[in-house]
Chain A
Amino acid sequence: YSSPSPLALCRLTQVRWSRYNPSFLEPEVNKELYQKPWEELSEEEKEKVELKAVQPIKAAPPSVSSSVFSDPMISKFTNMMMKNGNKVLARSLMAQTLEAIKRKQLEKYHKAPEDEKEAIECNPYVIFHQALKNCQPIIGLSNITKGGKTYQVPVPLKDNRKRFLAMKWLITECRENKHRRMLMPEKLSQELLQAFNNEGPIIKKKHVLHKMAEANRAYAHFRWW
């Protein structure tokens, strides 16, 4: 049994619709979740599994697969880098970036003395995730109009918004502030490595945003949500 969805409760007509019936659920591609034996699941998970068995499920999109190499963050980043629907180019740029990161890290690894060798991270996926995490701002600013004047009010950000801002800053930084002849993968790998070490222009931008939020602390009570 399930109660009517919150959208139905609002009694609003929807402008954004999809070809799927609203009762369809999102597919779960991760293989490991299906390999857990029945007894190890907790009560909630068992209920979820039973409910899922009765509901129809949407088809998996073409950008998602169950192999080790497909990563949701990397796919999201590739889509944001894509221009005019040229996914082939975006994917190849992403692959070249990861390769460039690996090469640079391996160079460093072979040149470093014995005791520092373990501290150097060679896995480009780990570097990518860590760099993105370091770039994510904690607070953002939002424009609130009160009494005719618009104030910049510090506001906590949702996880999705943080990830989006980090990726957007990375991409705009790489597209604009580079030498005309430098290619995107090289510049991107440079920025990612810098962000991984908590230095570089994107981290600076994040700190500037935090300082602005700290400066506008006085208006924080304007927020009503």
Chain B
Amino acid sequence: TLRLIYTTTAVQRKNVGASGPEKYTEAFIKKQIEEFNLGKRHLANMMGEDPETFTQEDIDKAIAYLFPSGLFDKRARPMMKHPTEIFPEQRKIQWGEDGRPFHFLFYTGKQSYYSLMHETYEKLLNAQKYQDQVTAQDLPPQKEKKNLAGSRWLTKIELEEMLLEKLSDNDYLRFILLLQKLMTLPCGDIEEKYIQKFSKEVPAQLQKVVIEPLKYDERGVAFSTGEGTRKTARATAVVYDNGTGKVTVNGIDILHYFPVLQDREQLLFPFQFLDRIGKHDMVCTVSGGGRSAQAGAIRLASAKALKSFVTEKEVEFMRQAGLLTVDPRVKERKKPGQEGARRKFTWKKR
């Protein structure tokens, strides 16, 4: 029989709590953990590294070295990870030897979900009682800390993993709406801790963009490079400071390379957005794609290069104007049984 390993709990279709004895007993998992730790030390000795400071990354590299595999799917290659990652968490048996379930909501079918809803509603009632007390005593209003933008709720899959139970979309929605209602009330510290269990920090600014420092060439002029892609076109742009606004593409002036006005507009878009039209020189190389794709690729490349010349705020403005995102739209493939990607064959009645 095949056993499903190295998956999330959400993938397990069968209701494990109702079926027979546990497939992975606690003793089994403990033994696996001991074996894993021993194996880690052996591996460290084999590779000549220090067993005490052997991290998971080192294990991965060692396994990739000792067992080279040409398989394309990374998940099919040999791996050595901690047993908690490999054997998905399963619920322990919910009933005792006499057949009587432990939890009082067992017969609802989704015991952890309903118990969670009960707890959240209890917190809501507490918050309302607290609010009534505060208004009765005429105390000054609570401080309002709203960091709406910095955090997000758990996704449905994450919540399923937390509860070890499958949820439906409706259930998940109801829970989120309840949490939002709780949040909008003037919460005390108790509820904040409870809410933090179900929220995740989003990186404060989606500025995962890396701003590189300027480089200086032989004449002392500052320059920076950027790369851009669009459909099948690949472009590299080098933007020089103290320039006249000349733009060269593959050794040819843009007036000759891009006879269409729209493409030239796209090339100048980042400069026009930052009000730096006559101040920079640009030399680009581009290959692949068509005329519009090449223009889009150079636009991305020049916007990335200009990041190093500009303040952080302006980089954020560029990002919000859509200048720094790679356009993921590509030509859709043709499907069998249809004439094109979307167009079907002419329907004939007979």
Which residues of A are interface residues toward B (Cβ below 8 A)? Answer: 1-4, 8-9, 11, 18-20, 27-29, 31, 34, 47, 50-60, 62-63, 65-67, 69-70, 87-88, 91
Contacts and interface: CB of A to CB of B under 8 A. Distances in A.
B269 A66 contact: yes
A51 B148 contact: yes
Interface string B246-279: 0000000000000011100110110011000000
A28 B124 CA distance: 39
Given A53-B316, A59-B327, A88-B260, 14 more contacts: A1-B199, A8-B173, A9-B173, A11-B170, A27-B325, A29-B273, A51-B149, A52-B320, A60-B323, A65-B268, A66-B269, A66-B273, A67-B269, A69-B265
A59 B326 contact: yes
Contact of A4 (B176, B269, B300, B321): B176
A15 B94 CA distance: 41
Nearest to A26: B322
B50 interface: no
B206 A54 contact: yes
B245 to A, nearest CB: 14
Given A19-B329, A53-B149, A27 B173 contact: no
Listed from nearest, the 5 A-B pairs whose CB atoms lie closest are A27-B322, A60-B322, A59-B327, A50-B149, A59-B325
A8 B176 CA distance: 13
A53 B152 CA distance: 14
A9 B169 CA distance: 8
B: contact size bracket: 35 or more
Q: Is the interface of A mostly helix, strand, loop or mixed?
A: loop
B80 interface: no
B152 A65 contact: no
Contacts of A31: 273
Contact of A91 (B261, B266, B292, B330): B261
B272 A54 contact: no
Nearest to B205: A53
Interface string B310-339: 000000110111110111111000000000
Given A1-B148, A20-B328, A88-B260, A55 B206 contact: yes
